[in-house]
Amino acid sequence: MSVQGGSQLFDLKGTNAAVIGGTGVLGGAMASALAGCGATVAILGRNEERGLARVKEIEQAGGRAVYQTADASSRESLVAARDALAKRLGVIDVLINAAGGNRPDATLPPGSDFCKLPIEAWQGVFDLNLVGGVLLPSQVFGESMVAAGRGSIINIASMAGMIPLSRVVAYSAAKAAVINLTKFLAREWARQGVRVNAISPGFFPAEQNKALLFKPDGSYSERGGQIIGHTPMARFGEAHELGGAVVWLAAHRASSFVTGQNIVVDGGFSSVTI
């Protein structure tokens, strides 16, 4: 039995990774982590300006990256992106499904009535996080991976998908569905050489949740203070702290027997009984 050094276990040279949602804070940080370990990274999204900015940042750090326009909610757009990347880079070995988010009209303010939650808002959150967030990209890129007999799909779920948090009921339910779909696909493609796992971040400040966690003066909001008080590490996560988990799951030599798992990165939040 041979022993591989740590640097070899996490070496992604020769690997092509597509990061859908790589124009965002968390997706972009994961793209940078993959590039830092040698992967050629394709940033996929609808915002070309932000996508090219991420590519420039990766290249300035010595990595290799390209931008590819794609709409995760459109099968046609994803197929076109996949085929374009195949010509530019070759087969995609790693797919990061990092697109997603919440909607204000699907969030329940304190004292509001769940029975009046608009069905359109609920469906919109599921379309964003489950259909466009995982289902369509996995079908389109997974098809090529199965044909090639190799690949790693990493879905970005949420700690909220494990714990039914107050107020964000639609988001929590959608992310719970992401975790379930991850396990289904892992079982479905295990013998085809394609591994499927999820990463569930805890609370990581970004533009979409900043107003929920902080007051205008930068101090914690009531909600933010409650979260910090419930988190053993007593702080929010930083985007770069997702890098280790994503590189591990992307690197075949490091995680070749890992599939169907949900890796939680939450500072211990989910370990504390509510």
Task: Name the residue among 140, 137, 58, 65 with its Cα closest to residue 97.
Answer: 137
CA distance 274 to 272: 6
Q: Retrieve residue 25's tokens.
A: 């804070």
Q: Are 171 and 125 in contact (CB under 8 A)?
A: yes
Give, for 171, the enclosing helix (H) or strand (E). helix 169-189
* Residue 156 DSSP symbol: E
Active site residue 171: yes
* Residue 132 DSSP symbol: I
Q: Are 236 and 228 in contact (CB under 8 A)?
A: yes
Sheet strands side by side (includes 40-45)? 64-69, 40-45, 16-20, 94-97, 151-156, 194-201, 262-265
Phi first, then psi, for residue 267 (nearest 5°) are: 65, 15
Q: Retrieve residue 169's tokens.
A: 């009921």
**What are the residues whose beta carbons fall under 8 Å from the beta carbon of 162, sequence distance 6 or more?**
176, 179, 200, 262, 264, 270
* Residue 19 DSSP symbol: E
Q: Are 263 and 224 in contact (CB under 8 A)?
A: no
**What are the residues whose beta carbons fall under 8 Å from the beta carbon of 271, sequence distance 6 or more?**
232
**Choosing from 171, 203, 204, 236, which is the catalytic residue?**
171
What does each C-alpha distance from 123 to 112, 127, 130, 155, 174 come to in angstroms?
A: 19, 6, 10, 20, 9
Greatest Cα pair distance, the chain, in angstroms, is 61
By annotation, the residues acting in catalysis are 171
